[in-house]
């Protein structure tokens, strides 16, 4: 897909920029090249961007499908914005339509991850970057967003495989950024200030979910 290819190329360029800023300009070649590259860095200086690898995921086992750059903002979290929330969403549709929406540059929204009914996890935006998922700028900047395939009004949307996979994903996120596993820090979209969204809705079993995340967190620690 075109969008994915573009982002792949951008990733390689950024990897090289990161090297230059890191002081390895000599390894790249001419000073002219370094100057040319540095002229594009006005938006990052004086920070050093972390290297990005095309197709790499933050959660082992996730599959990478890049979202359209129109649906997120490049950032350098957690250095520029601390991450202290996980936001749980429900797609109100199937997996394929969610992927398609997040690849649509006009959609203006996307989450970092989508968890399918069968427990497969797709990552569409890097945790480094700010995804437009919460409808609240500050909450977008401070959180990682996880979509779950299904409908808020259907209890049957939320399968055992989905809970288990999502809990492992959230445990990993909480572990990476030191986020406490509780309902203050693992929240639903409905709890984001100012939102009119209701997801994940009344059938999402929070007690079960937090229990599973804590269990997954302990398993990680062993
Ligand atoms: Zn939502």
Pick the CATH number of 63-221 from 3.30.70.960, 3.60.150.10, 3.40.80.10, 1.10.510.10: 3.40.80.10
Quick: pLDDT tens for 115-134. 999 999 999 999 999 999 99
* 206 vs 4, residue with greater confidence: 206
CA of residue 90 to ligand 1 center, whole Å: 6
CA of residue 134 to ligand 1 center, whole Å: 6
CA dihedral 201, 203, 115, 67 (to 10 degrees): -10
Token reading at 179: 């986020």
CA of residue 62 to ligand 1 center, whole Å: 20
CA of residue 16 to ligand 1 center, whole Å: 35
- The domain spans of the chain are 2-43, 63-221
**Separation between Cα atoms, residue 95 and residue 147, nearest integer Å:** 9
Catalytic option among 36, 147, 149, 153: 147
Burial of 110 (0-12, 13-18, 19+ CB in 10 A): buried
> In the annotation, is 147 catalytic?
yes
Quick: pLDDT tens for 147-159. 999 999 999 999 9
CA of residue 44 to ligand 1 center, whole Å: 30
Do 36 and 136 form a contact (C-beta atoms < 8 A)? no
For the entire predicted model, the pTM comes to 0.78
């Amino acid at each position: 897909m075109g969008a994915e290819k573009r982002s792949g190329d951008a990733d390689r360029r950024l990897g090289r920029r990161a090297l230059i800023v890191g002081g390895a300009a000599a390894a790249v070649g001419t000073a002219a090249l370094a100057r040319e590259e540095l002229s594009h860095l006005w938006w990052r200086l004086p920070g050093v961007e972390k290297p990005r690898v095309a197709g790499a995921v933050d959660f082992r086992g996730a599959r990478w499908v890049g979202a359209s750059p129109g649906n997120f903002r490049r950032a350098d979290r957690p250095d520029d914005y601390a991450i202290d929330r996980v936001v749980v969403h429900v797609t109100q549709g199937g997996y394929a339509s969610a992927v398609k929406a997040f690849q649509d540059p006009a959609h203006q929204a996307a989450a970092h991850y989508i968890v399918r009914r069968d427990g497969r996890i797709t990552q569409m935006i890097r945790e480094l970057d700010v995804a437009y998922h919460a409808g609240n700028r500050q909450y977008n900047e401070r959180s990682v967003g996880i979509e779950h395939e299904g409908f808020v009004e259907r209890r049957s949307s939320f399968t055992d495989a989905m809970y288990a996979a999502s809990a492992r994903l959230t445990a990993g996120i909480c572990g990476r950024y030191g986020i406490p596993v509780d309902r203050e820090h693992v929240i639903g979209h409905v709890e984001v200030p100012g939102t009119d969204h209701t997801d994940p809705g009344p059938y999402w079993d929070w007690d079960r979910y937090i229990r599973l995340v804590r269990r997954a967190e302990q398993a990680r620690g062993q």
